[in-house]
C-alpha cells in the first residue's frame, strides 16, 4: 500500500472482487471502508450489509484483500461473510439503505 504500517484487523483475510466496477478498489483504499446495500439476487433481503468472500483474493481476480476489527455476522453463508446493519461496529450511512465497515487493505489488484 502506501508504505505506512498499520495493524491488521482481528478478522480476515477476506476479499472483495471488483471486476464489474474498477473504481471500487480506489474508493475502498482511499476511504478505509467498504460499503454495502441490501442483498439482491439469490439471497435477497431488506437489511443492508457489507458482503465479501472468505480468504485471500484468488490469483487472477481483480479486487482487494482486507482485514477488519468487526466480526462477521454469525449467520453468514459459509465462505461469504456479511456485516449487517445493527451489528456492533457496522456504520450506518443511510438507515435501511447503506452501511460500511472499517478495513485494512493488505492487497490490491487492479484490472490491467
Q: What is the pLDDT of residues 12-43, one digit of tens each?
A: 999 999 987 878 999 999 999 999 999 776 66
**Phi–psi pair at 17, nearest 5 degrees:** -90, 140
pTM of structure: 0.86
Whether the CB-CB separation of 54 and 7 falls below 8 Å is answered with: no
Sign, CA dihedral 68-69-70-71, equals positive
- Rounded to an integer, the average pLDDT of 3-19 is 80
pLDDT of residue 108: 96
In 3D space, the residue among 107, 8, 9 whose CA is nearest the CA of residue 62 turns out to be 107
pLDDT of residue 45: 73
pLDDT-based confidence at residue 46 (cuts at 50, 70, 90): confident
pLDDT > 70: what percent of the chain?
90
Amino acid at each position: 500500500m502506501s508504505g505506512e504500517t498499520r495493524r491488521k484487523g482481528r478478522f480476515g483475510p477476506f476479499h472483495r472482487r471488483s471486476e464489474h466496477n474498477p473504481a471500487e478498489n480506489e474508493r475502498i483504499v482511499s476511504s478505509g471502508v467498504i460499503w454495502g446495500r441490501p442483498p439482491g439476487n439469490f439471497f435477497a433481503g431488506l437489511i443492508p450489509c457489507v458482503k465479501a468472500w472468505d480468504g485471500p483474493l484468488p490469483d487472477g481476480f481483480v479486487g482487494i484483500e482486507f482485514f477488519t476489527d468487526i466480526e462477521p455476522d454469525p449467520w453468514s453463508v459459509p465462505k461469504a461473510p456479511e456485516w449487517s446493519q445493527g451489528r456492533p461496529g457496522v456504520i450506518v450511512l443511510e438507515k435501511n439503505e447503506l452501511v460500511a465497515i472499517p478495513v485494512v487493505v493488505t492487497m490490491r489488484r487492479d484490472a490491467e
